[in-house]
Amino acid sequence: MPQSEDSRAQRRREAAAQHQRDRQRNMWIMLGVVAVVIIAFAWVLMGPSDSPSPAPATTPTVGTSGTTGTTGTTDTTGTTGTTGITGTTDTTGTNGLLGTETTGTTDTTGTTSTTGDNGAGLSRSIAGVDVHARDRHLVVAAKPARAQVRVPVLMYHRVASATTVTNSTSYGLTVTPATFRQQISWLKGHGYTAVSQAEVFNAMEHGTRLPAKPVVLTFDDGYVDATDAVLPVLEPLKWPATFFIITGRIGERAFLTWNQLKRLDSAGMDIGSHTVAHTELPSLSSSQRTEALRASRSTLEKGLGHPVRWFCYPAGRHDPTSANAVDAAGYLLAYTTDAGSTLRSDQRAVLPRVRVSGGQSLSSFAASMTAASA
């Protein structure tokens, strides 16, 4: 019996040893198979291919510009062009409203062509060049498709409570939120559709179609009401508007902050320049005028991260020299306070608008719109 027990124990030890050898052998076999698979896969990936190499893609040359107007990247906003200037109408009151503004009856010289076929010195030297990185369609045509378009461009300033009004000037520039809502409701109810600056530009330059009853909404100076009272009304309708910003006032009391400006921009609103300090261009020297136009635009482009192509004259004052400077600075459309709704392609730098005044009744607003659209 003991020998029988020893024999069984010996057999168990031999079986265990054989099992261990089998496991090791199987492991090496598996490792070998894996190595073969890896080598074969690598050969497939890295080995020569019988198929011909594709021809290199041609590099498109269209739209390689689009950075036109990005000169002057150094942000000098508010540091130049504001000293030694006379004739400014900036009389900011306690509620942040700017001072007097012309009604379009002054400085009407220059609204007709003084430099040839292009109206107020409008340059066509960049014809065919992509000039707006955000919208690849903003290209100045060699010859405008339309001589003019009929589009009422409404001119607002503040949309704020009557408690912000401190004098007759601020009264005329302030529309209450309730009145603004009524006006927008009237526009929509009567078939109007708000359009962007790019849509107006493309309609004139390239003949693109506009809605049956287009309207442009503009707001001068850059008041905080843009996000508080205007955007909540327009955003649900997906209606664009244009906000002309005095860059030297960004962040001041009653004016938009950079975060609010970016909020408007991201909501699809157009942002335009209203110079650095709301100084009337005709009162400036040539170098001051150039700097005022360049610095404000440079500041906005740096802050928003895209080209800014729209301009509005401080207090509406303009002359042929100012119009030429605005065009030379790279702005595509520029607005005055001159009354009218016919936008001429040969006068892109001196476009008229329809004033919306504080205290204006809805019937008066309706009448002005009907006349402007006739």
- The CATH number that applies at residue 191 is 3.20.20.370
Residue 133 lies in a domain: no
Greater confidence (16 vs 237) lies with 237
Residue carrying structure tokens 């004139």: 204
Greater confidence (357 vs 106) lies with 357
Residue 63 lies in a domain: no
User: Is the pLDDT score of 314 beyond 80?
Assistant: yes
**Model confidence pTM above 0.85:** no
Q: How many CA atoms lie within 13 A of 298 on its CB side?
A: 16
Distance of alpha carbon 263 from the chain centroid: 11
Greater confidence (138 vs 228) lies with 228
Beta bridge partners of 219: 156, 243
Residue 64 lies in a domain: no
Mean pLDDT along residues 327-347: 97
C-alpha distances (whole Å) from 201 to each of 204, 268, 318 are: 5, 16, 21
Mean pLDDT along residues 151-160: 98
Average predicted confidence (pLDDT) for the chain: 79
Shared-domain flag, residues 24 and 164: no
Looking at the chain, the whole-number percentage of residues with pLDDT higher than 70 is 69
Q: What is the pLDDT of residue 41?
A: 58
* Model confidence pLDDT, tens digit, residues 208-223: 999 999 999 999 999 9
Q: What is the pLDDT of residue 359?
A: 95
C-alpha span between 350 and 319 (Å, rounded) = 9
Mean pLDDT along residues 124-137: 42
**349 near 138, Cβ under 8 Å?**
no
Q: What is the pLDDT of residue 61?
A: 37
User: Is the pLDDT score of 127 beyond 90?
Assistant: no
User: Is the pLDDT score of 153 beyond 70?
Assistant: yes
Token readout for 180 is: 């603004």
Q: What is the pLDDT of residue 3?
A: 52
Q: Which of 50-59, 96-105, 124-133, 338-347 has the highest mean pLDDT?
A: 338-347
User: Is the pLDDT score of 98 beyond 80?
Assistant: no
Q: How confident is the model at residue 50 (pLDDT cuts 50, 70, 90)?
A: very low
Domain count, the chain: 2
Q: What is the pLDDT of residue 226?
A: 98
Residue 314 lies in a domain: yes
Cβ-Cβ contacts under 8 Å for 333 (sequence gap 6 or more): 197, 200, 201, 309, 310, 311, 348, 349, 351
Q: How confident is the model at residue 327 (pLDDT cuts 50, 70, 90)?
A: very high
C-alpha distances (whole Å) from 275 to each of 26, 357, 365 are: 82, 23, 29
Q: What is the pLDDT of residue 31?
A: 76
Q: What is the pLDDT of residue 124?
A: 35
Residue 110 lies in a domain: no
Shared-domain flag, residues 224 and 359: yes
Q: What is the pLDDT of residue 43?
A: 52
Residue 60 lies in a domain: no
Secondary structure of 181-223 in HEC code, one letter for each residue: HHHHHHHHHCCCEECCHHHHHHHHHHCCCCCCCEEEEEEEECE
Q: Fill in the amino acid letter for 8.
A: R
C-alpha span between 274 and 263 (Å, rounded) = 19
Mean pLDDT along residues 197-202: 96
Looking at the chain, the whole-number percentage of residues with pLDDT higher than 90 is 62
Long-range contacts of 340-344 (CB under 8 A, 24+ apart): 340/104, 340/372, 341/150, 341/151, 341/152, 341/153, 341/372, 341/373, 342/148, 342/149, 342/150, 343/148, 343/149, 343/150, 343/151, 343/153, 343/200, 343/204, 344/119, 344/147, 344/148
Residue 71 lies in a domain: no
Query: In this structure, is the dihedral angle defined by the CA atoms of residues 220, 226, 230 and 231, taken in order, positive or negative?
Result: positive
Q: Residue 341: give the domain boundaries.
A: 148-373
Q: What is the pLDDT of residue 81?
A: 35
Helices (H), the chain: 2-46, 168-173, 177-189, 197-206, 225, 231-234, 258-266, 286-304, 320-328, 362-373
Residue 59 lies in a domain: no
Q: What is the pLDDT of residue 242?
A: 98
Nearest to 322 by CA among 356, 364, 279: 279
Q: How confident is the model at residue 357 (pLDDT cuts 50, 70, 90)?
A: very high
Cβ-Cβ contacts under 8 Å for 360 (sequence gap 6 or more): 175, 179
Token readout for 134 is: 């955000």
Shared-domain flag, residues 21 and 163: no
